Structure 1
Amino acid sequence: MKKDARYLCYPYMRESASTVDFEIQTDSLTTKVGQAAARVKHIPKLYESLMEIMPMVYHLNGSVRGKLAITEADLERLSAIYDDYVHIVQDQIKQFLLPQGSEAACALHVCRSDAKKSVRALHKVSLEREVPNLLFDYTHLLANVFFVMAVYANKVEGVPEIPFQSKSYPERKLKRGESK
């Protein structure tokens, strides 16, 4: 007797491969990008960027188990989005910042954090199978894009950034566009 699909949320759930964890993590990230988009509708530039990025995260999701769906052109497009936001917020990102601010900025910081988790999950996959460097570059850049978007959201909404000075690490200046 065929199992009823309503009792199966994801067909690979019982696999032991790290691919499953990567796919679940990037599914979570895609969901959070959608949530962030709902919170930035009043900032058209951010909304349009997130609506462009959201399907790309799902393409990233399937690019390990399935066909590689992220291309060099996609990486270049994400890089252009990054450069656009960095150009606008370059004065605010010269130091480490607390992940705070407007509701929109906080939602974007959550996306940034989830993108980092996706990089880590991708690393775990790479210990088990070959992963194209393109996917690593895209996922790392994605985290940095969400960071500069968060700073942009605070700037647009008039919320000041709060610098963070670590007691654990010596102070160093961030390079243009670099995030913690």
Structure 2
Amino acid sequence: MGNRLSKLYTRTGDDGTSGLSGGERIAKNHERMNAMGTVDELNSVIGLLICKLDDPELENMLVAIQHDLFNIGGEISMPGHSFIQTDKVTALEASIDQFNELVEPLKDFILPGGSEAAAVCHMARSIARRAERDVVSLHHNEPVCDTTRQYLNRLSDLLFVVARIINLRLGRDDVLWKKELA
């Protein structure tokens, strides 16, 4: 196991820089730091979502995703490293297909809501989209592994269908967008 943090503050970031895993220091507003921060934010919201659930199947899947997101953060912190393999993307696709079979086909757009847990899941979905955008922005200047970008893309799709599954299992309807109210 790596070094343990025994002190939470170091003052080394007071100059507006932050350290990467390899020791290099970059600006706190660097694209790499933005991507790491958004992935961390996504991980935190998924943790909140897990706290709102009473569904072991979804909870176990989401905890595994949290581990993947932690690995993605580490990967972004170590330029040139890759921790997310194709099997992780394939597993997300299989879950999307499995859950999508359980819900009614969409005929309308849906709005975040239905239940508190589904609304939090939609929050996670929108943060996953931002994490993907941030990683793609970073990738335009410095390579980021293809599977990491694919993982974040599939994750937002999975979170969309999981929000629908949460509502289904709670006996709540999805909130449909109504053109006449727009």
Q: TM-score, normalised by structure 2?
A: 0.80
Conserved? CA contact 1:92–1:161, under 8 Å:
no
Shift of 1:5: 4.8
Q: Distance in 1 between matches of 2:34 and 2:150?
A: 19
Decide whether aligned partners of structure 1 residues 102 and 92 sit closer, same or farther in structure 2, where only a CA change above 3 A counts. farther
1:45 alignment partner in structure 2: 57
**3-state SS, counterpart of residue 175 of structure 2:** coil
The AA in structure 2 aligned to 1:121 is D
Find 1:85's aligned residue among 99, 102, 110.
99
Say how many residue pairs are matched: 162
Query: 1 or 2 for the larger relative contact order (CA 8 Å, sep ≥6)?
Result: 1
User: Could you say what secondary structure the match of 1:100 adopts?
Assistant: coil
| Shift in CA distance, 53/93, structure 1 to aligned 2, threshold 3 Å | farther
> Residues 166 and 141 from structure 1, CA distance in 2 versus in 1: closer, same or farther, beyond 3 angstroms?
farther
Q: Report how far residue 146 of structure 1 moved.
A: 0.6
Give the equivalent residue in structure 2 for 1:64. Answer: 76
CA-based RMSD: 2.1
Whichever residue aligns with residue 50 of structure 1, its letter is L
Partners in 1 of 2:179 and 2:27 — Cα distance?
41
Cα distance in 1 for residues equivalent to 2:166 and 2:66 = 18
Map residues 12-161 of structure 1 onto 2, 5 A cutoff: 14-40=27-53, 42-66=54-78, 67-89=81-103, 91-161=104-174
> Which of structure 1's runs of 4+ aligned residues deviate more than 4 A?
7-10
Offset of residue 163 of structure 1 = 1.9
Instruction: Tell me the distance in 1 between the aligned counterparts of 2:47 and 2:168.
Output: 21
The SS at the match of 1:123 is: helix
The two structures have a TM-score, normalised by structure 1, of 0.81
Cα shift readout 1:123-153 (whole Å, capped 9, x = no counterpart): 2101211222222211010001111000000
- Residue 155 to residue 16, structure 1, CA distance change in 2 (3 Å): closer
The match for 1:11 among 14, 19, 38 is: 19
- Give the CA deviation at 1:79: 1.4
Instruction: Quote the Cα distance in structure 2 between the aligned partners of 1:81 and 1:51.
Output: 14
Write the distance in 2 (CA, Å) between the matches of 1:86 and 1:16.
Answer: 38
AA partner of residue 134 (structure 2): A
- Unaligned 5+ segments in structure 2 are 1-6, 21-25
